[in-house]
Amino acid sequence: MRKIHEVLRLHRDCGLSARKIAQSAGIGRTTVGEYLQRFAASGLSWPLPETLNDSELEQRLFPPPPAVPADQRPVPEWHQVQRELRRPGVTMQLLWQEYKLAYPHGFAYSWFCEHYREWRGTLDLSMRQEHRAGEKLFVDYAGQTVGIVDRTTGESRPAQIFVAVLGASNYTYAEATWSQQLPDWIGSHVRAFQFLGGVSAVIVPDNLKSGVHKAHRYEPDLNPTYVEMARHYGTSVMPARKRKPKDKAKVEGGVLLVERWILAALRNRTFFSLRELNQAIGQLLDKLNHRAFKKLPGNRLEQFEAIDKPALRPLPAEPYTFAQWKKVRVHIDYHVEVEGHYYSVPYTLVKRQLEVRYSDTTVECFHQGQRVASHVRSHFKGRHTTVPEHMPKAHREYAQWTPERLINWAQKTGPATASLIETILQRRKHPQQAFRSCLGILRLGKSYGDERLEAACQRALLIGSYSYKSIDSILRKGLDRQATDNQQELELNVDHDNLRGADYYH
């Protein structure tokens, strides 16, 4: 028997709160609240009539439901239920309560949940998963490629097909790129966000090397450029788990549709440029997003406009500018190497490991998260970009690596070696810019011996070739053992006026 009379007495006569009534009567607070609500709606007054016993009171407050046959009770629109569940904060309990308000003689909550699960089981796996509005963007590459023909040579080069699918609406984006490498991977994301007009809360990639350095079930190692791109757009990356097909069922379904409705339709066409191919993909992609669902009402575009688009985060003011990251170690000449060019950093960081971020226009160096140098990007290989402030007050103050030390070291090999090293130092605006090359030449003596290195330096001076690559080539090809046309010229006088000597640098 329900404790309705006791709850009413404690509330009306004793003035207790619902919490204290629940403690006194040994029932839940929600039950107390329900009793009081039903009493207020019953029209009864307090105190209760003496002729009204507990059984009659319970029947007045909890009348039996009308005997309505199941086939006459309204069945919910399950696709509408699924659509509403994708909205933030919406639960099955809330939807059932709204259903009961609209249809008081409708089914109970347990029937509501059970039959929704049965209906959902009739859908495809990718449709069956419940994704919140604007929450996840699934990205991957199609297994198929499309050949692009070079008009000049007639050779065909395969183009990769990038696919992105929004979880809630299945709205799809696709484009062709030359590769799956990092620049194309990041560029495809940027263009996908522009196509959507917003940013999802999460990006779900497969474990592609461009995005994930090392796959791991719990802590995958993401590419730093990928992380930086996600940070720029205010989103996060959550790679699909290995051997968990449900994690990427949405994009795999999208890839399958792109292959069937776009790539298959283009199979007999010949393309001569990436732009031409993407124009064709764009036209068929529009048709795909307008194509009606088979098992749900509407199409991808309608679902996107109604569900995902309002929930997407706004695009930043500027699109992400692609940049790569690499770890470098500062050489004794206080320069770091990026794509064959050398950039200076503060000389106090010699032998320290730095992180370098480089784009088409800039090179930035970071030490322990703090930027320590910034340069305009140069594409001249073998050259140096040096900021005077990065240099020590005197070029021979730091770590004993000085021009005179290198010349003295070279003199132990022979006069030609010392002459070559000094010539290389003289040819640079700052002698430190030549340290790397000089050290490389001197270390060749460990591999080939001092006698051969001296002969190679003689030959290099004779032909006017002052570089590490030249000396290395002479030694590898054995040219140091061959006589020149004028053997007498090899007897070099290294004391001529143009040579300053080690003392000059003191």
pLDDT for 163-215, tens place per residue? 999 888 889 999 999 999 888 999 999 999 999 999 998 898 876 655 555 44
Residue 298: in which H helix or E strand, if any? none
Question: Residue 360 carries which side chain, given as an amino acid letter?
Answer: D
The pLDDT assigned to 126 comes to 47
Mean pLDDT along residues 362-370: 91
Two structure tokens written together for 300: 């991808």
Question: Residue 273 carries which side chain, given as an amino acid letter?
Answer: S
Q: 319: closest CA among 379, 370, 359?
A: 359
Q: Where are the alpha helices (DSSP H) in 427-449?
A: 435-448
* Burial state string for 296-312 with b = 16 or more CB within 10 A and e = fewer than 16: eeebbbbbbebbbbebb
**C-alpha 255 chain-centroid distance:** 20
pTM (two decimals): 0.54
Q: How far apart are CA 409 and CA 403, in angstroms?
A: 10
CA-CA distances (angstroms) from residue 372 to 72, 124, 335, 355? 75, 53, 12, 10
Could you give the 3-state DSSP secondary structure of residue 385?
Answer: strand
Q: Where are the alpha helices (DSSP H) in 86-174?
A: 92-102, 109-120, 125-128
Query: Using omega within 30 degrees of 0 as the cis cutoff, is the peptide bond preceding 47 cis?
Result: yes
Two structure tokens written together for 366: 């970071």
Better-scored residue on pLDDT, 444 or 92: 444
Q: How far apart are CA 197 and CA 186, in angstroms?
A: 17
Mean pLDDT along residues 492-499: 42
* Burial state string for 443-454 with b = 16 or more CB within 10 A and e = fewer than 16: ebbeebeeebbb
Task: Please check whether residue 384 is in contact with residue 335, taking contact to mean a CB–CB distance below 8 angstroms.
Answer: yes
pLDDT-derived band at 338 (thresholds 50, 70, 90) equals very high
Mean pLDDT along residues 30-55: 83
Q: 217: closest CA among 192, 255, 243?
A: 243
